[in-house]
Structure formats: structure tokens, C-alpha cells
Structure 1
Amino acid sequence: MQVSVETTSNIERRMTIGVPAQEIDQAVQKRLQETARTVRLNGFRPGKVPMSVVKRRFGASVRQEVVGEVMRDNYIKALQEQDINPAGWPQLEPKVMEEGKDLEFVATFEVLPEIELGDLSKINVEKPVSEVTDKDIDKMIDNLRRQQATMKEVKRKSKNKDIVTIDFKGYVDGEEFEGGSAEGHRLTLGSGQMIPGFEKAIVGGKAGEEFPIEVTFPEDYQSEDLAGKDAKFDIKIHKVEEPQLPEMTPEFFKQFGIEAEDEETFREEVKKNMERELKQAVSNKVKNDVVEGLLEVTELEVPNALVDQEIDRLRQDAVQRFGGQVDFQQLPKEIFQDQATRRVKTGLLFQEVVKANDLKAEPEQVDAKIQEIASTYEQPEEVIEHFNNNAEQKAQIESAVLEDAVVDHVLEQAKVKEKKMKYEEAVQAGQPQR
């Protein structure tokens, strides 16, 4: 086998491989002999078909099949000989494959990029500083109660947190616009579902009333045709409903997985959950900033093969989220391109930080992470045992610990600025980026 490798770009390689004709011809002859022993043709007894007939009928297809296998096998051997780590499967193209001539084929493929990390001291990280206050707990419990509320129709004027059933019809410059009308629409006043000013203008209205309101679409509104424009809506209120909040009883607490006999115990459990959420949000925000910083200070060309693989994973995830009713390949690849590229870049950069600094997921760190996760369950010992007895699940924990080690390493050199935030602001800041 003869091998030559050409570098066609930073991450693309073109490998030309030559295989002696004798190797191909022997493999073809052996395959034809096997075919002759099993093939059934009219006019011949099984196993008695002349080789000349077998070769005439099956020679071309057998040769093509053998050449495909030989190209695959020799490509793998060539990678091992040349000590090359490809990023994905190659494009194999035969150049010479005539009988009696040496096989020559070209394998075009991508390799993992050589990464030179940028200056980590130029990375800026904003770390939220927040706490869970009594007011935050009150608001959270109020939201939980409203999730379980029943509705009672009232005849009074509407107020914030009421649900109104309305018809509305919108106009811009005197003309109706697409998506600006609805009938029987249920709207929670004060929820922020509608454009600024819309809900506030309905507060105080009663069932049976009809009136116009005037609002202005935000400058950054998603529809460019409406952004920044004044609009008029004709409103008709059909019904006003007031939420009836459930009592704070042990039965109510159980609906949220909390065993408590009184409100004080329930508040403590809610606080613990909120503090865990806050801690995770701060961690997410810091990690997001670290990722953004690494991407900004490091030039990185990513193999298309890895991006395509990640796109397929994202498409499969999307199909599962929506009930698996369609083939994931029907989803356009383009809508996942940016997210997939970012994920691949992030993975490559984190791997480089790990390699360059010999970072490891220490056993005690992995155990601590497992115990932290287990503490949120009713039977933590069972959760710990599950992770320790499931190699795949434990490997995921080890990966998470290693990611934390990368973030910590970058933070040691980055510029970290703390910023005071309210609880809701901090949680919002920690939402994962796509």
C-alpha cells in the first residue's frame, strides 16, 4: 500500500492511497468463487455454474463491492500508519479501478484543528451576586398557589391578576393588520403577554363593556412592519374572572413534592429550592461568559463533519421534544447551524484547556457532585447507588466535573466583576444560551 497525504487547508487533508492489483484481483476471485457455490441460475445445477458465466453475470458488481471494502479497510490502515485523527468519515473517490491495474483512490477528510488558546486574561466575566429574600419567597408561593387556583366570575371592574375574556381588533394607520385580531382570548392582566400598555389599558374594564385603546409597538418588535408604530385596538370584554387561591394545607404542599405540616416548614423547603436554583443560575451565567470569552480570544476553524453530527443530534432532540411525529431529517439543517457550531467550538476549546493544563475529574469531586444531585431526592442513597453502578451515568457526571474544572481554571486568569442582582434577575441571567 502506497500513501501520500496533501494538506489542502488547516483542517482538510487529501490522502491518495495505492493498492496492488493482485490484492484486488485475489479478493474478487475469492468472492466470485463463493458466489458460484451458492448462486442459482436457470439451466444449471446449484454449485455447477461455470466460473465464466458467474464472472460475466456478477463480475462488475462483485468488483465494485470488493473495491469499496478495500478502500475502507486501507483508509483505516493508512490513518494508523500516518498517525492521523480524522474528525469524521471521508469522501472516498476511486481514480483507477480497472481489472489488472493497481487500485488508486483518494480520501478527502477533515482533521481536528490545532488550537492555540488566546489570552485568558482578556476574558471578562460578570458574576451575579444575589440572595433569596422573604419577598422573593412570598412571590414564589403566590405563583405556586395561582398555578392551582380555581376561577370565579365577578361583576366588578377588572384588576391586575384577573383573567379577562376579550375580543380585540387592531388597526395601524386605519387598516387592520395580520395577527391583530382575536375572539374569546383569555388574558391575565399584568402578565406582560401583550405589547406594553395593552393590558394596563384594559384594567378597570367590566364585562359587557366595549371601548378603544391606543398603544405603540416597541421599536424592537419582531415584525418590522409594526415596529415603533401607533396602533388602535377595539376591545370587547366578555367576562372577568378572579383567581381563588387554594389554602396552605399539607395536601397543597404535597402537590409540589414537599412533605410539610405547616406553612413555615413549606416556606423553608421552597427557600431551599430557590437557593439551589439561584446557585445553578449563577454557575450558568459564569460558564456562559467563560464560553463567550474563549470564543472571542481564540480563533478556531471547526470541521464541517462535527457540525453536521451535532446538527443531527439537535434535530433528533427537537423531534423527541415534539412527540416524535416527524423524521428528524425533515427539519431544515440551517435552523440548527449556529447552535451546532457554537457547541462544537465550545467542546473543542474545553478539550484544549483540559489537555493544555492536564485537568482531571478527581474521584472526590465526582462523589461530591453525585451527593449534591442526590440531596434533592427523597431517597438520596438510592440515587448515589444508581450513579455508582451505572458507568454511562457516572461518565456524564465526570464530564460535568471536568467542565467545572475548565471554568475554574479560566476564572483564575479572567477579569471577574461581581454585579448585585435581584433573585429573578440572577435566575434570568443564568438561562442557558442556544
Structure 2
Amino acid sequence: MLKSANKTETNIYTLEVSVSGEDFNKAILQAYNKQKNKIQLPGFRKGKAPLKMIEKFYGEGVFYEDALDIVYPGVVGDAIKEAGIEPVAAPHDLDVTKIGKDGVEMTMKVTVKPEISIDNYKGIEADKGDASVCADDVKKELASMQERNARVVTVDDRKAKKNDIAVIDFEGFVDGVAFDGGKGENYELTLGSGQFIPGFEEQIIGHKTGDEFDVNVTFPTEYTPELAGKEAVFKVVLHEIKMKELPTLDDDFAKDVDDEVDTLAELKKKIKAELSDKKKEDVEKDFESAVLEKVVDLVEGEIPEVMYDNKLEDDVKDYENRLAQQGIPLDTYLQYMGMDRDKFKESMRDNAVKQVKLQLAVEKIAELEKIEATDEEAEAQLKEMADMYQLDVEQVKKWVNIEDVKKDVVGKKTVDFLVANAKAIVAEKPKKTTKKAAAKKEEEKPADAE
């Protein structure tokens, strides 16, 4: 039961909470029933000693700690609700001032969601990119399609050159000693791709199939600690040289890569339309991100450091889980990146801070603008989730809290509101100068400008 709740510091409330003797004695009995099978007293079979006898033998408070663990979550949760506060972290600085058969009294501190202020969030100015598609964009996409449909052929009559695929065996040595991870067999390396450390691929260029040679390199300073900055020698055997043979851009190529077109001209037209749709979508996403970046800068208020810490921990765990799905332990990944966990967390901290501020800003703006979610909007969101996971809507309803769904809907509507009320700053396109115009401009130059 909540006895008192007082704001004692910025964003911190001190709660005084009590547990009745009746409730605490019930918890003691629960603790006894949970532990009794592990306890044996003289004259009693194991697990058969009565509660009173155990308390007499070990002391009345033998089960107090376990009993407190039992009542604590419910009692504190109810006290927080009664106090009408919104905690952002678990209670801390717990002080049990009284504990016994007649009940418990304790105080604790609770860090709460901060009250922030935000002004001038309507009419935010942000840069918006150009969504137009030019001939070069279409040309690049066609080149990419050629690459994807290229035929790889073996080359026997020349030396390896940039963009070739070299099939190699290699083994690396530092001070004459082989090191872990420095050996490979029949490895296909595209020369000029930058897959290997600087200087490695360049030294394969110019060699022929069957050549055995040394590659001398120095590891970058930003590398795994045991190799960083050290000189190494790789023993290399070049087994095969391959190259990509690109298909000819013609009507046959167009039909091969797309069943819906008959000519290269039709393919180009389709590519332009698809690129246009994608570019418009990207421009809108980038504009939204630019607007939200500026919203973050408008947040004023003292935000508890624990909110940043918790968000950072969540982000690290999420990153670790995504790597685990690929079969890569986080520590292994960090070793390859030449980082430890502390440096990795520090690199993610700025983003965690921004995300916390943005969440608080969006919630505050929704409150100021009275943005709410209707039951129909929440239902639509649930259906979207069900479709994504190929489940029945009723199944999804069992697993998610409808109020959390509504919060998500309100968040999306608030972001849409901010973007709709923002001002896009679109850079002017540079005017193209034709050869004829350039020549005329040159003729009009004053003689002393030469």
C-alpha cells in the first residue's frame, strides 16, 4: 500500500510503501512451502519440519527475505499506479525501515518520465532532394543488370588485371610465423574490390596463372590488436584467372531479363518508371528523417540519464541478436572491427540519445495537438501485423496489448503531422549549358578577360 509519494529531485519521486501483516505472513508461508523440502531439523524428516519449528531453530526472520521478494513486485507496482507516476526504470535506493510479522515498511526512489517542452515544431524547414531520374540513372541500372547477367569465363592468355577474379591459395606470416585467419584455399578474389587489406590485391595484378609469389603488406592501425600496424608476408599461388563477359545491350537482352518487355526501349522506359517510384520514396524518407532530426533539436528539459542508458542497452542487444541470426557472435564481430564492447557502445550512444529525445518529442506533440488513435486505426494496424506474420488477427490480439498498438498509431500519425507541416527546401537544379551557348558566352567575353 502507498503511504506517501513526494517529488524529491528532478524526475525522481520517493515512495513510502507498506505491506500489511496479513499479506506478509501469507508471503512467509509461501516462502516456507517453497523452501521446506530443502530443510531438515533434528527429530524431523527432511521437508516435514513445521514453520514454527524452523523459525525457532533459525530465527524468526529466516523467510523474511524470500517473502519480501514475493510481495515486492505486486505491492510496488500497485503503489506506482496509485501515485500516478510513469517510471522509466526500476525503483532504486530501496530502504526497508521495518520488517516483521506485523508487516513491512520501506522507502524507494523512482525515476519518472520527464516533462519536456517543445515549441516551433510546425513549419520546420528541411532540405528535400530531387526525385527526378535522368538518362545516366537508367544507364547505371542497365549496367548493373549486365553485371548480374554476366558470364564468367576463364582467361589463359594474359596476366591478371583489375576487375578480374583471381582464384588463389594464400597463407600469411608475421615475423615468419603463420597467424590465425590468415590462410585460404581456392579463394575467389575480385581484384580492385578492396576485400583484402590495402596493397594485397594490387600485388596480384600482373601475375599469370600458375605463378607462386609473395605479397608484402602492412596491416592497418585500425585492425585486430594482435595484427594492427604489423608487417606481413603472404605466400600466394595463383590457380586461375577469370573475367566477367557482359551480355550485349539489345532487344534479346531486354526479353531475357524481363518477360514483360519486347524491346530495349521498352525496358529503358520501365526502368525509368521504377527508378522514379523508388527515388520519390527515398526522397520522402530522407525528408522525414531531416525533419525529425530538427525536431530532436527543439526538445528542452532535463532527461534522466538512465533513459539513454536503457535505450543503449536495448540497441546493443538488438544488434547482438541480429548478428546471432547470421551465426556471428558479437565479440567475434567486434574483434574483426578492431573494437571492444565499450567502444562499440560509445559509437551507438549518440543515436540512442536522439531516439529517446525523439520519442519524448513525438509524445509531447501528440498531447499538444490532441492526436489520438481510433479503434478502427488500431484494428487496421493489427491486420497489418497479422498479414506480415501470416497469422489470424485474433491470434495477434492475444499476443499484443491494444494500448501499445494505439501508441504506435499515434506515433505514426504525429510523424505524418510533422512532415505535412514542414517546409521543403529544394535546391535549384543547375542549368545545363549547351555547347552552342558555351561558345557564344566565350565569344562575348571582354578582350581583357583573356
TM-score tier (shorter): 0.5 to 0.7
Question: What is the CA–CA distance in structure 2 between the aligned matches of 1:295 and 1:151, rounded to whole Å?
Answer: 50
User: What letter matches 1:406 in structure 2?
Assistant: V
Question: Secondary structure at 1:141's aligned position in 2?
Answer: helix
Q: Tell me the residue number matched to 2:344.
A: 335
Q: How far is 1:340 from its partner?
A: 2.9
Q: Tell me the residue number matched to 2:322.
A: 320
Alignment of 1:178-327 (within 5 A): 188=190, 241-245=242-246, 253=257, 259-260=259-260, 262=262, 264=264, 267=268, 270-300=271-301, 301-302=303-304, 304-305=306-307, 307-308=309-310, 311-323=313-325, 325=327
Question: What is the CA–CA distance in structure 1 between the aligned matches of 2:147 and 2:401, rounded to whole Å?
Answer: 36
Q: Tell me the residue number matched to 1:376.
A: none
TM-score by length of 2: 0.62
Q: How far is 1:158 from its partner?
A: 6.7
- Cα deviation 1:109-164 (Å, max 9, x = unaligned): 22111121143368541111132334322322322332343322343577764445
User: What letter matches 2:92 in structure 1?
Assistant: Q
Compared CA separation, residues 342 and 55, structure 1 to 2 (3 A): same
* Aligned partners of 1:89 and 1:109 also within 8 Å: yes
Question: What is the CA–CA distance in structure 2 between the aligned matches of 1:328 and 1:101, rounded to whole Å?
Answer: 50
Question: Secondary structure at 1:260's aligned position in 2?
Answer: coil
Compared CA separation, residues 107 and 364, structure 1 to 2 (3 A): closer
Question: What is the CA–CA distance in structure 1 between the aligned matches of 2:5 and 2:379, rounded to whole Å?
Answer: 46
Question: What is the CA–CA distance in structure 1 between the aligned matches of 2:90 and 2:11, rounded to whole Å?
Answer: 14
Q: Does 1:412 align with 2:421?
A: yes
Compared CA separation, residues 70 and 116, structure 1 to 2 (3 A): same
Question: What is the CA–CA distance in structure 2 between the aligned matches of 1:192 and 1:329, rounded to whole Å?
Answer: 24
Compared CA separation, residues 135 and 351, structure 1 to 2 (3 A): same
Question: Secondary structure at 2:78's aligned position in 1?
Answer: helix
Question: What is the CA–CA distance in structure 1 between the aligned matches of 2:320 and 2:109, rounded to whole Å?
Answer: 31
Question: What is the CA–CA distance in structure 2 between the aligned matches of 1:73 and 1:401, rounded to whole Å?
Answer: 30
Q: Does 1:112 align with 2:113?
A: yes
* Aligned partners of 1:166 and 1:239 also within 8 Å: yes
Which structure is richer in relative contact order (CA contacts within 8 A, separation 6 or more)?
1
* Aligned partners of 2:61 and 2:100 also within 8 Å: no
* Aligned partners of 1:157 and 1:206 also within 8 Å: yes
Question: What is the CA–CA distance in structure 2 between the aligned matches of 1:140 and 1:93, rounded to whole Å?
Answer: 63
Question: What is the CA–CA distance in structure 2 between the aligned matches of 1:34 and 1:27, rounded to whole Å?
Answer: 11
* Aligned partners of 1:163 and 1:188 also within 8 Å: yes
Compared CA separation, residues 353 and 9, structure 1 to 2 (3 A): same
Compared CA separation, residues 340 and 107, structure 1 to 2 (3 A): same
Q: Tell me the residue number matched to 1:54.
A: 54
Compared CA separation, residues 266 and 191, structure 1 to 2 (3 A): farther
Q: Tell me the residue number matched to 2:92.
A: 91
* Aligned partners of 2:126 and 2:424 also within 8 Å: yes
Q: Tell me the residue number matched to 2:365.
A: 353
Compared CA separation, residues 107 and 410, structure 1 to 2 (3 A): farther
Compared CA separation, residues 246 and 283, structure 1 to 2 (3 A): same
Q: How far is 1:7 from its partner?
A: 3.4
User: What letter matches 1:127 in structure 2?
Assistant: K
Compared CA separation, residues 97 and 267, structure 1 to 2 (3 A): farther
TM-score by length of 1: 0.64
- Cα deviation 1:144-188 (Å, max 9, x = unaligned): 3323433223435777644457999xxxxxxxxx9xx99998665
Question: What is the CA–CA distance in structure 1 between the aligned matches of 2:47 and 2:199, rounded to whole Å?
Answer: 87
* Aligned partners of 1:31 and 1:62 also within 8 Å: no
Residues 194-203 or 63-72, more deviating: 194-203
User: What letter matches 2:154 in structure 1?
Assistant: E
* Aligned partners of 1:162 and 1:241 also within 8 Å: yes
Q: Tell me the residue number matched to 1:403.
A: 412
Q: Any gaps of 5 or more consecutive residues in structure 1? A: 169-177, 211-220, 224-234, 374-381, 422-434
How many pairs were matched up?
399
Question: Secondary structure at 1:129's aligned position in 2?
Answer: coil
Q: Tell me the residue number matched to 1:27.
A: 26
Compared CA separation, residues 290 and 49, structure 1 to 2 (3 A): same
Q: Tell me the residue number matched to 1:430.
A: none
- Cα deviation 1:212-238 (Å, max 9, x = unaligned): xxxxxxxxx979xxxxxxxxxxx9998
Question: What is the CA–CA distance in structure 1 between the aligned matches of 2:40 and 2:206, rounded to whole Å?
Answer: 89
Q: Does 1:129 align with 2:138?
A: no
Compared CA separation, residues 28 and 125, structure 1 to 2 (3 A): closer
* Aligned partners of 1:209 and 1:236 also within 8 Å: yes
User: What letter matches 2:412 in structure 1?
Assistant: E
Q: How far is 1:293 from its partner?
A: 0.8
Q: How far is 1:282 from its partner?
A: 1.1
* Aligned partners of 2:16 and 2:108 also within 8 Å: yes
Q: How far is 1:90 from its partner?
A: 1.7
Question: What is the CA–CA distance in structure 2 between the aligned matches of 1:236 and 1:7, rounded to whole Å?
Answer: 73
